[in-house]
Amino acid sequence: MKIYRTAEWQARPPRAYARRSTPTLIVIHHTATKPGKDLSLEAAAGLARAIQRHHMDANGWDDSGHNFLVSVQGYVLEGRHGSLEALEAGESIISAHSGNAAANASFGIENEGCYGDCPMPDEQWRSLVELCTFICLKQGLAPDCIKGHRDFRATECPGDWLYAKLPELRKAVAINLEKIQ
């Protein structure tokens, strides 16, 4: 699947590169932002830059907190530098998406939008299923490793609607994995 690397969305260099880790989970988030009307790749890249800027300048983090961003258009963009390289090597990197050490040692996926009570676009859902399938495949993880941010700390994230869809997400990933293996 196509994952846009940090260089492809003009990410800033990180303050420090993250250490590798052994993933056991996939943690699902939403950005809790209003999705834009511009459906171009450039709009998705702009969102990735805005999140990185917020995480580095407001939160004081080394880099983007998450590992991957799925835009409303269904584009998948690398977050923290080194995430894609680690994924391809069957590993993860220490990130800052969950406020929980075990969760941060595994991949965090941000989904553009606010999914408290409204559904995500089909294109975004399909990309999320594909990305989770790819991660499970590369890391030898079972679909039941897919969790929501609220499983690790007191937060609304990833929204009631998306959280309630996690069983369906696990099932869709399991079906994909059966087809591949």
**Region of 26-34, 76-84, 111-119, 125-133 interacting with Zn ion (CB under 5 A):** 26-34
Cβ proximity to Zn ion: between 30 and 176 the closer is 30
φ/ψ of residue 164, rounded to 5: -70, -20
- Collect all residues with Cβ–Cβ distance below 8 Å to 158 and sequence separation of at least 6: 28, 29, 30, 111, 115, 148, 149, 150
The CA distance from 80 to 66, in Å, is 6
Nearer to Zn ion, 56 or 137 (CB): 56
- φ/ψ region of 22 (left if φ > 0, alpha if ψ in -120 to 50, else beta) reads beta
Tell me which residues in 90-109 interact with Zn ion (CB under 5 A): none
DSSP H helices, the chain, are: 41-53, 83-88, 101-104, 122-139, 160-164, 166-180
Using rule CB under 5 A, residue 66 touches Zn ion: no
Residue 162 to residue 155: CA distance in whole angstroms: 13
**Selected binder of Zn ion within 72, 105, 157, 173 (CB under 5 A):** 157
Return the residue of 3, 9, 26, 29 that touches Zn ion, per CB under 5 A: 29
Residue 123 or 156 with smaller CB distance to Zn ion: 156
Q: Which two structure tokens, joined as six digits, stand for 48? A: 């990735």
- Taking CB under 5 A as the criterion, the residue among 80, 81, 147, 149 binding Zn ion is 149
The interface region with Zn ion, picked from 15-23, 36-44, 115-123, 143-151 by CB under 5 A, is 143-151
The interface region with Zn ion, picked from 6-14, 23-31, 112-120, 167-175 by CB under 5 A, is: 23-31
CB nearer Zn ion, residue 29 or residue 55:
29
Q: Look at residue 57 and give its three-state secondary structure.
A: helix
CB of 76 to Zn ion, least distance (A): 17
How far apart are the C-alpha atoms of 117 and 113, rounded to whole Å? 11
Residues lying near Zn ion in the complex (CB under 5 A): 29, 149, 157
